[in-house]
Structure 1
Amino acid sequence: MPPRRSYDQYCSAARALDLVGDRWTLLIVRELLAGPRRYTDLHADLPGVSTDVLASRLKDMERDGLTTRRRLPPPGAAYVYEITDRGRRMLPVLQALGSWGEAELGERRPTDAVRAHWFALPLLRALEGEGEETVEVHLEEGEFHLRVGAGTGPVYGDGPAPGEPAARLTMDAATCEALARGEMGLPAAVRDGRVTVTGDGALAKALRDA
């Protein structure tokens, strides 16, 4: 592979951007925080990226120790990409970047793509400090689950939670978008009846009592 481009600056921020500063790289990290993904799945959930650019970014990320690639056993027999521990440590960076970018969201534009699990990161921020629990989220666009306070492994995933979640959150698109824009907090949305909370876990009870 060609040598990695570098800012050639003796600065930790510049060194970090040498690895993740290219277009699409951080969004690939966002997708792989959900767990192993096939190339076709990544391409489907990154609308706008070309196949050549996606393949190039994945090769760069594997070379730099941010991702690995492995072949699934039969009957799957497909290759999947996984984030490494080092790549996973980008989660707080994405959280901070998402918080900083809340003011840029505005109303959804007609050209904006959306996937239900893209709301996972702002909801994880809203649930910080609630212990280690699994939360299932139901939106009009689909459902996904979060692993709040997870120390290892995927922090979210598509579809229902494996096993019984500590809480189930149901909300409409307008409420979820308002939470993502930082216009309201989750406890306030629950109190106002805009988020329905079910479940018997400690987190569900805490949200209902907030």
Structure 2
Amino acid sequence: MARESVARAGERRRYGQYCGLAACLDVIGERWTLLIVRELLVGPQRYNELLHNLPGIGTNLLAERLRWLTRQGVIRQHPRSNGKGHRYELTGFGEALREPILGLARWGLNVSHPFDAEDEVRPQWGVLAVEALIKKDQIPEVDESYEFLVDDQLFHIAVKDRQITVAQQGAEHAALRVSTDAKTFVDIGSGRVSPFEAVVTKRLSLEGDQQALTRCSRLLGLLPGDGLADG
């Protein structure tokens, strides 16, 4: 049987396999590493912001993971405009992890367990959740925007010339505005709660055109028969 290579002092263990997947895991396979990348896919963050948004990680472990990702060229430190401290951000190399991580998040919605009282949920995770849910074969032909308010996190999907962008701000002229909490948002994405059920139980509110709602629901695979399990 193949066994992990034992690292020299000060180095990490490697799988010791000449394979792209093994090489990838040598860099980002450690516990917490992908979740740090997830946070930075949403946008640059200061150390204390990362610590707050990653409940359960220790401060020393976070510092070690950030040093490792910086050495590997996945992230870099970016000075703040006011000259006070810096933020961590993804490099172009790190940004290339967006599609693989969105794919893993989409796959994970199918196997996620029911919400537990001890589980943490953050509204900014809704930004990536929306990106993960997008079905590119269902992009509307109509140019329009769909705005989401998840707890206190505001963002929107813009459709233009059958291209999709997700922006962390409100939409000036949204065809549809959705307001909900982070837990409900994840419940809808995982298929545990339908948008209709969420509206009826007042966990979600909608404002906008019915046809825009249909187009947005189809784009996110939320119409009956268009769920995650179907594709």
Band of TM-score, shorter chain: 0.7 to 0.9
Partner of 1:138: 149
The percent identity for this pair of structures is 31
1:156/1:28 Cα in 2 relative to 1: closer, same or farther (>3 Å)?
farther
Partner of 2:161: none
User: What's the CA shift for 1:59?
Assistant: 0.8
Classify the secondary structure of the residue corresponding to 1:37: coil
Task: Give the TM-score normalised by the residue count of structure 2.
Answer: 0.70
How many angstroms apart in 2 are the aligned matches of 1:144 and 1:190? Answer: 22
CA RMSD of aligned residues (A): 3.2
User: What's the CA shift for 1:12?
Assistant: 0.5
How many angstroms apart in 2 are the aligned matches of 1:133 and 1:23? Answer: 39
How many angstroms apart in 1 are the aligned matches of 2:195 and 2:121? Answer: 22
How many angstroms apart in 2 are the aligned matches of 1:99 and 1:173? Answer: 16
Partner of 1:66: 74
Partner of 1:170: 179
User: What's the CA shift for 1:156?
Assistant: 5.5
How many angstroms apart in 2 are the aligned matches of 1:73 and 1:173? Answer: 31
Mapped contact 2:146–2:171 kept (Cα < 8 A)? no
Mapped contact 1:47–1:113 kept (Cα < 8 A)? yes
1:7/1:27 Cα in 2 relative to 1: closer, same or farther (>3 Å)?
same
Classify the secondary structure of the residue corresponding to 2:56: coil
After TM superposition, the structure 1 = structure 2 runs for residues 151-190 of structure 1, keeping only pairs within 5 Å, are 157=168, 161=169, 164=172, 166=174, 167-172=176-181, 175-183=184-192, 189=195
Classify the secondary structure of the residue corresponding to 2:42: coil
Q: Does 1:27 align with 2:35?
A: yes
User: What's the CA shift for 1:56?
Assistant: 0.6
Partner of 1:96: 103
Match of 2:85 among 60, 66, 78: 78
Which deviations, in whole Å up to 9, do the C-alpha atoms of 1:68-106 show, x marking residues without a partner?
A: 1021132x5121000112211212221221222224323
1:192/1:162 Cα in 2 relative to 1: closer, same or farther (>3 Å)?
closer
Partner of 1:127: 134
Mapped contact 2:147–2:170 kept (Cα < 8 A)? no
Mapped contact 1:169–1:196 kept (Cα < 8 A)? yes
1:71/1:97 Cα in 2 relative to 1: closer, same or farther (>3 Å)?
same
The aligned length equals 197
Partner of 2:26: 18
User: What's the CA shift for 1:174?
Assistant: 5.9
Instruction: Choose 1 or 2 for highest CA Rg.
Output: 2
Partner of 1:50: 58
1:205/1:102 Cα in 2 relative to 1: closer, same or farther (>3 Å)?
closer
User: What's the CA shift for 1:182?
Assistant: 3.3
Quick one: higher RCO (CA 8 Å, sep 6+), 1 or 2?
1
Classify the secondary structure of the residue corresponding to 2:111: helix
How many angstroms apart in 1 are the aligned matches of 2:107 and 2:41? Answer: 20
- Can you give the 5+ residue segments of structure 2 that lack an aligned partner in the other structure? 1-8, 159-163, 224-231
Partner of 1:105: 112
Deviating more after overlay: 112-121 vs 169-178: 169-178
